[in-house]
Chains A and B, each alone.
Chain A
Amino acid sequence: MARAMGLRRRIGFTFLAWGIGLIVFFPIFWMLLTSFKTEGDAIASPPLLFYAATIENYLEVLARSNYFKHFMNSVIIAGGSTILALIVAIPAAWSMAFSPTKQTKNILMWMLSTKMLPPVGVLVPIYLLFLQWGLLDTKFGLTIILMLINLPIVIWMLYTYFKEIPGEILEASRMDGAVLWKEIIYVLLPMAVPGIASTMLLNVILAWNEAFWTLNLTAANAAPLTAFIAAFSSPEGLFWAKLSAASTMAIAPILILGWFSQRQLVRGLTFGAVK
């Protein structure tokens, strides 16, 4: 009797959850669907759920725009800023986790506080400095900026992961004759692989989707996909199919990455405040 009630409840919740889930997901689903329509089908009224699928839009986006270049820009900027941030952050996190001083906590707090500086507060000088240094619309300039805005999160996440590694193991390696860089490369990093991986994931996702600096500091040359897609907003949109195809290609890598790593992301997203 209770079993049957439990099952009924479960079926009820299943319908409800799937229903709401599909509504939440609908815009993405619709974009995917539209990307395989002809432009005519895309604006058909009433909207078409079944139609003759075509990959025309994808081919056209690839052929007529510089999609591939912008995709590579995104890869280079998101990947580059992540790697740079890790290189700078790993030593810092080691230092805070395994050799803390009285100031360690304050330094961490201060680092996180830089994350709260609104970008418009420094937009003007950064823009002018970039103008002067010839960094506007360069991948290098943007990579540096994205590294800096994500650095505090990277340090914080690594710090929380490193803290879970027992210090005795590092001490053992020191007794065994490992100098510092060997201690880090042969002992600490291999043990911290899961933590480093989820830190990288979160950072890549944040950098890939960053849409303030990428829109303001780039033009035709260094624009990553965020800026490339933004360019579709100008003509009062009757190219939905092509927009959808381009958008699908822009979000697919990160969406899939996100699906696989959602559980690991929670910790980074909340600075470890919710476990």
Chain B
Amino acid sequence: MATAHTRTLSRLMIAPSVVMLLAWMAIPLAMTIYFSFQRYNLLNPSRRRFAGWFNYEFFVTDPAFFAALTNTLVLVGGVLVITIVGGILFALLLDQPIFGQGIVRILFISPFFIMPTVSALIWKNMMMNPVFGIFANIAKSLGLQPIDWFASVPLLSIIIIVAWQWLPFATLILLTALQSLDSEQRDAAEMDGAKPVALFFYITLPHMSRAITVVVLIETIFLLSIFAEILVTTNGGPGVASTNLTFLIYARALLQFDVGGAAAGGIIAVILANIVAIFLIRMIGKNLEA
């Protein structure tokens, strides 16, 4: 397959992609690093000068940063736990013989295709509104005090919305993994006298472990950058109660026009994401070999 001729062509054909992605990754990132060492505010662009580590210091010592970091981790962690546990249960359920399986699958999968702004607004208004929302009505009919979701538990509210969006993804992937489980293996274990619970922990769960890792890592990458759901529901508030790192940087950059500060925050976000990315690359790399 490989002659010198095809090899040259092949380099030429891969070049545009490489150049584009390199430009996309390297140039803006370099600029972000550069800006992060500048004192630079768009409201006052003439007073731009070198700032040393000031932006980083300022960003990190801001109490909002610590809150945003915690919120980011709670958001990612909370959604992961809900989607993984829920996804495993749902996958096990959907793997059973069910009448109308195709339609049930569609019901389960649908939230994944809803754009973030729409799902956030449906939940904010029609589900979680403290007066007219479905939850409020249920609470009232049970004689309970309705919860004002976004005022009293803003981060939890966002976790619920995001988990609802990502549960289908986890379910779909885990179900696919489950269905690829060799039924002979299960039969053999059953012949050996394994009870359903033992069967799950010794056969099914190990088989799904790779899919679970994939779900965790891919979701993590997207969840670190949750933005629209916060923007259209709480706007990060009250205070910074539902501000994550992405939203904090957005607010610095496009609301306060503090380019330097936002850039420093961006670099911190990149470092955080890289720690996650290293694991992901390792894992996918292994899969390539397998």
**Chain A residues near B (Cβ < 8 Å):** 6, 9-11, 13-14, 16-18, 20-22, 24-25, 27-28, 30-31, 34, 43, 45-47, 88-89, 91-92, 94-96, 98-99, 101, 105, 107-129, 148, 151-152, 155, 167, 170-171, 180, 205, 208-209, 211-212, 215-216, 225-227, 229-230, 232-233, 237, 240, 243-244, 247, 250-251, 254-255, 257-259, 262, 265-266, 269-275
**Cβ-Cβ contact count across A and B, 8 Å cutoff:** 321
Interface size on B, residues (CB 8 A): 108
Give the residue among A17, A115, A129, A212 with the most B Cβ atoms within 10 A. Answer: A17
Q: Known interface pairs A101-B7, A273-B287. Does A117 touch B17 (Cβ–Cβ under 8 Å)? A: no
Q: Which residues of the other chain, B, contact A120 by a CB distance below 8 angstroms? A: 225, 245-246, 249-250, 262, 265-266, 269
Check B164 against A24 for contact (C-beta < 8 Å): yes
**Chain B residues near A (Cβ < 8 Å):** 1-2, 6-7, 9-11, 13-14, 16-18, 20-21, 24-25, 27-29, 31-32, 35, 90, 93-94, 96-100, 104-127, 129, 131-132, 134, 137, 140-141, 164, 167-169, 172-173, 176-177, 180, 210-211, 214, 218, 221, 224-225, 227-228, 231-233, 245-246, 249-250, 253-254, 259, 262-263, 265-267, 269-270, 272-274, 276-277, 280-281, 283-285, 287-288
Check B111 against A28 for contact (C-beta < 8 Å): yes
Instruction: Using CB atoms, name the residue of chain B closest to A104.
Output: B14
Check B17 against A92 for contact (C-beta < 8 Å): yes
Nearest 10 interchain pairs by C-beta: A91-B13, A21-B107, A125-B31, A211-B228, A258-B113, A122-B28, A99-B10, A95-B10, A116-B277, A233-B232
The secondary structure that dominates the B interface is helix
In addition to A99-B6, A112-B284, A275-B180, 9 A-B residue pairs with Cβ atoms within 8 Å of each other are A92-B18, A116-B276, A118-B270, A123-B266, A124-B263, A125-B35, A129-B28, A257-B113, A262-B106
| Distance of B27 from chain A, by nearest CB (Å) | 8
Q: Which residues of the other chain, B, contact A47 by a CB distance below 8 angstroms? A: 134, 137
Check B7 against A30 for contact (C-beta < 8 Å): no
Check B125 against A99 for contact (C-beta < 8 Å): no
Instruction: Using CB atoms, name the residue of chain A closest to B249.
Output: A120
Check A113 against B281 for contact (C-beta < 8 Å): yes
In the docked arrangement, what's the CA distance between A10 and B250, Å? 50
Check B231 against A215 for contact (C-beta < 8 Å): yes
